[in-house]
Amino acid sequence: MSKLKFAVLQFPGSNCDRDCEYTISSVMGHEAKLVWHEEHSLAGFDAVIVPGGFSYGDYLRSGAMAKLSPIVQELVRFTQDPKKLTIGICNGFQILTEAGLLPGVLLRNTNLNFVCDTQYIMDVSSSETPFNSKVNGVINAPIAHFDGSYYIDEAGLEELKKNGQIAFRYCDSSGDVNNGANPNGSVYNIAGVYNKQKNVLGMMPHPERNSEKVFGDATGKMIFDSIINFYS
């Protein structure tokens, strides 16, 4: 297959943009281009990564200011095409919820501390999606967030379950979902969700940070393998 072209969005305060660019280009062997937040077009791109960091310093609310950027307005249009994939990681997840592209909100961690650790998550999708076709077993992904507690009301949670929109849940090393494995107080141990069309994924853990065995664990690469597989 020909090389895919990924846009990696950049905002003032992004700090995981280069990690994502490296993962796509050097690990996955495809093309990645950094796209500044003031740009107005995503023409020619196959997929978009909204990376982690502290867009606009998170001064108002995580992701709230970034959603007003011209490139996010273009991203809203981009996601209308079911053949185009978007993944938002950590702050990128927050931006996608603020922009209305994903349901729910991200609140301050219930322990009121910044959490920097590794955390197991498991795919709980009821069917194959563009993001999980190559996921096998649990992923031990790094986490680094202060506002990572996913919240949605009871009616919304039931809607997520009904539509198969819950992508990942926090778990222990054996895949058991329990309160002890929940690092931030997220409702239902939710670590990632899809939009209804399943072409947009938001997740708090960082799969780009464990996509090479040199880091001790490369299970995060399975998500990027799945994205590549979708286009093949």
- Output the domain CATH number for residue 114: 3.40.50.880
Q: For position 207, what pLDDT does the model report?
A: 97
Domain span including residue 126: 5-231
Report residue 61's pLDDT band, with 50, 70 and 90 as the boundaries. confident
What is the C-alpha separation between 229 and 51, in angstroms, rounded? 21
Whether 206 sits among the annotated catalytic residues: the reply is yes
Report residue 190's pLDDT band, with 50, 70 and 90 as the boundaries. very high
Strand partners, 105: 151
Average of pLDDT values for 155-171? 98
Whether 171 sits among the annotated catalytic residues: the reply is no
Average of pLDDT values for 22-26? 98
Q: What pLDDT, in 10s, does the model give residues 120-159?
A: 999 999 899 999 999 999 999 999 999 999 999 999 999 9
Residue 65, token pair as written in the block: 């200011």
Which entry of 30, 37, 145, 206 is annotated as an active-site residue? 206
Q: What pLDDT, in 10s, does the model give residues 65-113?
A: 999 999 999 999 999 999 999 999 999 999 999 999 999 999 999 999 9
Q: Which of 43, 79, 47, 60 is nearest to 195 (CA)?
A: 79
Edge to edge, the sheet with strand 139-145 lists 31-36, 5-10, 47-50, 85-89, 200-203, 190-194, 166-170, 115-123, 139-145
What is the C-alpha separation between 127 and 198, in angstroms, rounded? 10
Report residue 58's pLDDT band, with 50, 70 and 90 as the boundaries. confident
226 pLDDT higher than 90: yes
Q: For position 126, what pLDDT does the model report?
A: 85
Which entry of 90, 98, 145, 171 is annotated as an active-site residue? 90
Q: Could you tell me whether strands 166-170 and 149-151 are parallel, antiparallel, or unpaired per DSSP bridges?
A: unpaired
Residue 89, token pair as written in the block: 């990681």
Domain count within the chain: 1
DSSP single-letter state for residue 14: B
Average of pLDDT values for 179-187? 97
Q: For position 230, what pLDDT does the model report?
A: 97
60 pLDDT higher than 90: no
Q: Tell me the average pLDDT of the chain.
A: 96
Please give, one letter per residue, the 3-state secondary structure of 167-226.
Answer: EEEECCCCCCCCHHHCCCCCHHHEEEEECCCCCEEEECCCHHHHCEHHHCECCCHHHHHH
Q: For position 94, what pLDDT does the model report?
A: 97
- Calculate what percentage of the chain has a pLDDT beyond 90: 93
What is the C-alpha separation between 135 and 51, in angstroms, rounded? 20
1 pLDDT higher than 90: no
What is the C-alpha separation between 153 and 40, in angstroms, rounded? 34
Whether 16 sits among the annotated catalytic residues: the reply is no
Report residue 19's pLDDT band, with 50, 70 and 90 as the boundaries. very high
Average of pLDDT values for 170-198? 97
